């Protein structure tokens, strides 16, 4: 095994020891002789250079914006990268006579000629030419860097005849790959260091040459790794390594996925005894062969993922395609090896299918994170909406034919629904599908009348968000009837449907009053139970008001939405509701709980998919308006917490908190920011950082205290105090029911005060309601 410090010097081989093509010791011939290793190669940052690279690449900047042409150039052996000019120049032609690993003998022939001439006193010419050959034989060997190594006498072996020098096809392929690596490493851009890790020996070695500004004293050239952990680097690309001699080193990868893959495979190789985590689920398998199989499957997935990223096949957007084409990415290499010289055994088709399964799992987990995030947003919005002075009055109102059923019940069957479609005699002879089609036909006939009513309401109240239709599909109606109404299609009342979005609670009260005065006889139901403080919301946290009208003997539905709630998801709120119903997301409040029960290998593969999702936007480049990637990183932080990568969970959560604090729509006191502080406190506590964890918990407590103050301030009135003096405390002892009676009276007074506020707002914003009422009274008098 050659060392960079002493080129050309070979280490003595121990008897019975086998060496790989890279010079690493291979496993012995024991029971686990078939257990193979993996060669990982990747780009790391030279600490002497600025990172990330500045605008306008110079001699001392790290070039990571290579195009596809650069990638092609690196595979071209006729050119090489010149560090001085930072450009490609023609390479010196090299024609090796022997393949790497072959031995030979160099013959040196010395020719001596002796000439005799006619003497000064001689009378005739005398010429004598004597030729002697002194042949010297120097045994040598060609190493894998293409250099000649002189062999000692005991290492001299007779060269095989040319006819006997038959090479294994696998060895030839391996040699060609080695030559491509040499060409690649000779053109490494300034500021990048290429390292290789052999998992069978845990040996880390530097492949590329140092640069102009490299600190050679601190440079890690070779290390046998016995411990590895993620470093507390802001870029989330750092690794802290421990050598078998006690040497400690820190490496920063050029890409996030490099650090993640290397640390994961080191955890597998080291048996979970490093600092990656204290979970009992680490790879401490009794069978090394099974452990190698798990390692191979994980690395095959990571290798396949890297290929997709480099090829730009993960996203149709041009920006994301270019993101994977950097020069750092093309140095990422994962080669599975075994003693027989073969490579990865798992077929490419099998890897692709397995990746598709893992990708679906990632998408599902990310969707759960999105659904519960939006549910918490709904809860927070509704909490703030209840501070509206007119809410107590609205909360005291009773809907029409509103049973107030539990919106989040398990079966969600409303078998006692009072408002239904008209049951016609012909429905007895129809199948369920025929009946659903007939009801949809009636909905089509009724739709124009519903449109006119919605136009009138929107025009009077200045509503801008209005939607009508489409008519519900018959098969969709059957599914809804089976899920909610025990299969009764007549209880489905939204075949013909529309939506209105009002600004706030006062606007909702105005709409209800206008609807009552304009077409009161047509109203069959007003359902507003989900807006009550003592009732559960719909699955997923949504709350709205539903008005059912009977038009042309058909029940139609107007869904009235409140803008603060509507703005959370917009029109996608319907999909949010369906998914929450389908997956029963209300059964667990924490999205990270959905990861419980997964083994370590599955979590590691999900992290690979997470890195695919954010490949175009590293954590350090994330901005507050990158909502999609913020959700990706939030989901990945949960994987880190469950996987024992608490350092990276801390780094990710701190960055997300900073972005949420900077966001003009969220800020430091928003519910979502406080939730991030909770997870950050957990990550800090698991690392033993008690002081920082307490500081994060303090942020959460302060936010909860502020919320309580807001609620008390909104509800504060002259009659709020129950016990304000010792005399009142004595009265409470003598009359235990006094508090309940006073609370009931306080609620009534609060409602009256709220109604007074509504009248004031009604006079200011909806004065036309009085004119509308007077016109209706005049019309009634004329009819009499």
- pLDDT above 70: residue 560: yes
Query: Which residue in the block uniquely carries the two structure tokens 């942020």?
Result: 699
What local confidence, expressed as pLDDT, does residue 266 receive? 92
Task: Supply the pLDDT for residue 746.
Answer: 78
Residue 408: strand, helix, or coil: coil
pLDDT-based confidence at 59, cuts 50/70/90? very low
Is residue 21 very low, low, confident or very high in pLDDT (cuts 50, 70, 90)? very low
Provide the pLDDT for residue 550.
94
Question: What is the maximum span of the chain, computed from C-alpha positions, in angstroms?
Answer: 167
Q: Which long-range contacts (CB under 8 A, 24 or more apart) does 458-465 make?
A: 458/500, 460/514, 460/768, 460/772, 461/502, 461/507, 461/510, 461/511, 461/514, 461/766, 463/500, 463/501, 463/502, 463/507, 464/501, 465/499, 465/500, 465/501, 465/561, 465/563, 465/566
The dihedral sign for the CA sequence 222, 228, 233, 235: positive
What pLDDT, on the 0 to 100 scale, is given for residue 6? Answer: 35
Specify the range with the lowest mean pLDDT, choosing from 290-294, 297-301, 776-780. Answer: 776-780
CA angle 50, 51, 52 (to 5 degrees): 130
Model confidence, pTM: 0.73
Q: How far is it, in rounded angstroms, from Cα 279 to Cα 288?
A: 19
- The rounded distance, in Å, linking the Cα atoms of 511 and 532 is 18
Placement of tokens 């006073």 in the chain:
742
The model's confidence at residue 103, banded by pLDDT at 50, 70 and 90, is low
Tell which phi-psi region holds residue 246, choosing left (phi > 0), alpha (psi between -120 and 50) or beta: left
Q: Is the pLDDT of residue 179 over 50?
A: yes
Q: How confident is the model at residue 443 (pLDDT cuts 50, 70, 90)?
A: very high
SS (H, E, C) 621-674: HCCCCCHHHHHHHHHHHHHHHHHCCHHHHHHHHHHHHHHHHHCCCCCCCCHHHH
For the cut 50, the answer to whether the pLDDT of residue 783 exceeds it is: yes
Q: What is the pLDDT of residues 598-647, one digit of tens each?
A: 999 999 999 999 999 998 889 988 999 999 999 999 999 999 999 999 99
Give the 3-state secondary structure of residue 164. helix
pLDDT digits (tens, 9 = 90+) for 654-670: 999 999 999 998 999 89
Query: For position 398, what pLDDT does the model report?
Result: 86
CA distance 629 to 613: 8
Query: Phi and psi for 703 in degrees, rounded to 5?
Result: -65, -40
The predicted structure's pLDDT at residue 16: 38
Cα torsion 326, 328, 331, 334: sign? negative
Q: What angle do the packed helices 726-734 and 738-765 form, to 10 degrees?
A: 120
Better-predicted residue by pLDDT, 622 or 408: 622
Percent of the chain's residues with pLDDT above 90? 43
> Which residue has 């900047």 as its token pair?
61
**If pLDDT is split at 50, 70 and 90, which confidence band does 20 have?**
very low
**What is the C-alpha separation between 509 and 388, in angstroms, rounded?**
13
> Is domain 597-715 classified as CATH 3.30.559.10?
no
Q: Alpha carbon of 259 to those of 195, 262, 569, 604: distances in Å?
A: 12, 5, 35, 13
HSE on the CB side for 246, CA within 13 Å?
Answer: 0
Question: Is 763 or 406 the better-scoring residue by pLDDT?
Answer: 763
What's the full length of the chain, in residues?
A: 784
In this predicted structure, the answer to whether residue 704 has a pLDDT above a threshold of 90 is: no
- Quick one: what percent of the chain has pLDDT higher than 70? 64
Q: Rounded to the nearest 5°, which phi and psi values hold at 71?
A: -60, -40
Q: Three-class SS of residue 243?
A: strand
Residue 504's nearest CA partner among 452, 547, 461 is: 461
Contacting residues for 725 by C-beta, under 8 A, at least 6 apart: none
83 touches 294 (CB < 8 A): no
- Retrieve residue 95's tokens: 């024609």
E strand map for 261-400: 333-336
Decide which of 3.40.50.300, 3.30.460.10, 1.20.1560.10, 3.90.180.10 is the CATH code for 399-568: 3.30.460.10
pLDDT in tens, 66-96: 333 344 444 445 555 454 444 555 665 554 4
Q: Give the range among 54-63, 250-259, 390-399 with minimum mean pLDDT.
A: 54-63
């Amino acid at each position: 095994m050659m060392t960079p410090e002493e080129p050309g010097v070979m280490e003595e081989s121990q008897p019975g020891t086998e060496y790989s093509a890279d010079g690493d010791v291979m496993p012995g011939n024991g029971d686990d002789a078939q257990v193979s290793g993996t060669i990982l190669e990747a780009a790391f940052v030279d600490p002497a250079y600025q990172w990330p690279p500045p605008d306008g690449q110079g001699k001392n900047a790290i070039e990571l914006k290579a195009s596809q042409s650069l990638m092609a150039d690196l595979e071209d052996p006729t050119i090489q990268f010149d560090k001085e000019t930072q450009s490609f120049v023609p390479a010196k032609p090299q024609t090796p006579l022997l393949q790497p690993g072959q031995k030979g003998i160099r013959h040196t022939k010395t020719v001596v000629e002796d000439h005799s001439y006619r003497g000064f006193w001689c009378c005739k010419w005398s010429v004598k030419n004597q030729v002697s050959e002194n042949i010297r034989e120097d045994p040598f060997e060609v190493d894998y860097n293409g250099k000649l190594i002189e062999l000692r006498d005991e290492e001299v072996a007779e060269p095989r005849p040319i006819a006997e020098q038959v090479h294994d096809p696998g060895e030839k392929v391996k040699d060609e790959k080695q030559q491509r690596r040499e060409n690649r490493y000779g053109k490494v851009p300034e500021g990048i260091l290429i390292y290789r890790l052999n998992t069978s020996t845990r040996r880390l070695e530097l492949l590329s040459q140092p640069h102009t500004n490299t600190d050679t004293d601190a440079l890690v050239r070779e290390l046998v790794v016995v411990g590895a952990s993620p470093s507390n680097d802001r870029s989330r690309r750092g690794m802290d390594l421990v050598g078998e001699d006690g040497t400690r080193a820190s490496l920063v990868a050029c890409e996030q996925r490099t650090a993640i893959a290397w640390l994961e495979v080191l955890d597998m190789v080291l048996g979970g005894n490093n600092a990656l985590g204290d979970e009992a689920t680490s790879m401490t398998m009794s069978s090394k062969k099974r452990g190698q199989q798990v390692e191979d499957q994980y690395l095959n997935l990571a290798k396949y993922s890297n290929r997709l990223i480099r090829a730009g096949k993960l996203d149709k957007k041009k920006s994301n395609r270019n993101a994977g084409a950097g020069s750092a990415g093309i140095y990422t290499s994962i080669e599975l090896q075994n003693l027989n010289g073969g490579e990865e055994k798992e077929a490419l088709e099998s890897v692709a299918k397995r990746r598709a399964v893992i990708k679906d799992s990632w998408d599902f987990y990310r969707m759960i994170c999105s659904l519960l995030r939006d549910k918490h947003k709904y809860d927070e919005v509704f909490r703030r909406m209840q501070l509206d002075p007119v809410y107590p009055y609205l909360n005291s109102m009773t809907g029409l034919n509103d049973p107030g059923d539990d919106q989040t019940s398990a079966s969600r069957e409303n078998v006692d629904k009072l408002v239904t479609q008209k049951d016609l005699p012909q429905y007895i002879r129809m199948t369920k599908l025929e009946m659903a089609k007939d009801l949809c036909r009636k909905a089509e006939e009724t739709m124009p009348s519903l449109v006119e009513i919605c136009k009138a309401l929107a025009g009077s109240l200045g509503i801008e968000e209005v939607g009508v239709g489409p008519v519900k599909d018959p098969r969709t109606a059957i599914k809804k009837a089976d899920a909610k109404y025990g299969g009764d299609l007549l209880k489905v009342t939204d075949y013909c449907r529309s939506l209105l979005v009002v600004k706030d609670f006062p606007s909702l009260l105005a709409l209800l009053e206008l609807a009552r005065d304009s077409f009161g006889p047509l109203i069959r139901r007003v359902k507003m139970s989900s807006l009550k403080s003592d009732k559960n919301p719909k699955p997923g946290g949504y709350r709205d008001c539903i008005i059912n009208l009977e038009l042309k003997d058909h029940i139609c539905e107007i869904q009235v939405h409140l803008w603060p709630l509507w703005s959370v998801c917009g029109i996608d709120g319907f999909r949010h509701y369906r998914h929450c119903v389908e997956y029963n997301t209300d059964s667990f409040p924490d999205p990270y709980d959905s990861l419980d029960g997964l083994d370590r290998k599955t979590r590691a593969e999900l992290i690979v998919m997470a890195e695919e999702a954010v490949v175009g936007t590293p954590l350090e480049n994330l901005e507050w308006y990158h909502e999609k990637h913020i959700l990706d990183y939030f989901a990945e932080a949960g994987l880190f917490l469950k996987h024992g990568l608490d350092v990276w969970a801390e780094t990710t959560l701190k960055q997300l908190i900073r972005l949420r604090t900077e966001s003009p729509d969220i800020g430091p006191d928003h519910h979502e920011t406080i939730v991030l502080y909770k997870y950050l406190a957990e990550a800090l506590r698991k690392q033993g950082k008690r002081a920082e964890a307490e500081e994060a918990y303090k942020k959460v407590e302060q936010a909860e205290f502020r919320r309580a103050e807001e609620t008390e301030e909104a509800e504060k009135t002259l009659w709020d105090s129950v016990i304000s003096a010792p005399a009142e405390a004595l009265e409470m002892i003598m009359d235990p029911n006094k508090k309940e009676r006073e609370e009931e009276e306080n609620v009534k007074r609060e409602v009256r005060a709220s109604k007074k506020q509504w009248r004031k707002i009604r006079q200011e914003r909806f004065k036309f309601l009085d004119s509308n009422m007077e016109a209706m009274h005049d019309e009634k008098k004329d009819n009499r």
